Amino acid sequence: MRRHLLVRLFAVLALATASLLGVSAHAEEQTADAFIQHLSSEMLHSIKTDPATQAGNVPAIIALVDAKLMPSVNFKRMTSSAVGPGWRQMTPEQQKRLQDEFKILLVRTYAGALSQIGDVSIAVQPLRAATDDKELVVRTKVKGRGEPIQLDYRLEKAAGEGGSWRIYNLNIMGVWLVETYRSQFAQEINAKGVDGLIAALAERNRSNAKKG
């Protein structure tokens, strides 16, 4: 349970750090690691000092996550990667429904952990990458109580001049988020098919909404 909670908690930190990627006018002048380092302190401060977040107001927290975090995630790529090869066999309608339910699940998961963030800091590790790399991994350590926590990002750069960075996978304490969901999704698809997976996610989201 403690490991599961930490995975959820630091997934929040990962997306929070990446949430403002691309909003700065001079973002293209910065490397991915420098930009993450710059934004970490701003985002963590915002999370810790937001009155609604600190009060545990779930609708406000969900709105915060949805508005500030998700726009900087390539969510279609994250969902298709979690499904694996079966994504190409799905209809466009199934893809959209699955993506929508998966997004709701992650938003509520992050919102539920958001209010549990304590006094932590993020140290970005030296980045080994070429200046023209379009995909890379940024490695960080989250420092707080106890031992530092490994937190790695897989980022992609949007096409075009001055394209922004977007996150499409996270490695939290040695666990890649997309691969974790891929295993869960595969079990559901094998047992009940794609529509069964969508229905299962929808039911989980309804249950979470009732619990608040």
Task: Supply the pLDDT for residue 111.
Answer: 64
Q: What's the maximum distance between 2 C-alpha atoms anywhere in the chain?
A: 49
Query: Which tokens hold the place of 19?
Result: 């949430």
From CA 205, how far away is CA 109, in angstroms rounded? 10
Q: From 103, 22, 23, 96, select the one nearest 62 (Cα to Cα).
A: 103
Task: Supply the pLDDT for residue 212.
Answer: 63
From CA 94, how far away is CA 97, in angstroms rounded? 5
From CA 58, how far away is CA 4, in angstroms rounded? 20
From CA 171, how far away is CA 179, in angstroms rounded? 10
CATH of the domain at 88: 3.10.450.710
Task: Supply the pLDDT for residue 2.
Answer: 47
pTM value? 0.75
User: pLDDT tens string for the chain (212 positions)?
Assistant: 445 545 555 555 555 555 444 443 344 456 788 766 765 666 677 667 778 766 767 677 777 767 766 777 888 999 999 999 999 999 999 999 999 999 888 777 766 655 556 667 778 888 888 878 889 998 888 787 778 878 888 889 877 655 677 888 888 788 898 998 999 999 999 999 999 999 999 999 999 888 76
DSSP secondary structure string for all residues of 169-202: EEEETTEEHHHHHHHHHHHHHHHHHHHHHHHHHH
Domain count, the chain: 1
Q: Which domain holds residue 179?
A: 2-211
Task: Supply the pLDDT for residue 110.
Answer: 64
Task: Supply the pLDDT for residue 118.
Answer: 62
Contact 129, 115 (CB under 8 A): no
From CA 156, how far away is CA 116, in angstroms rounded? 29
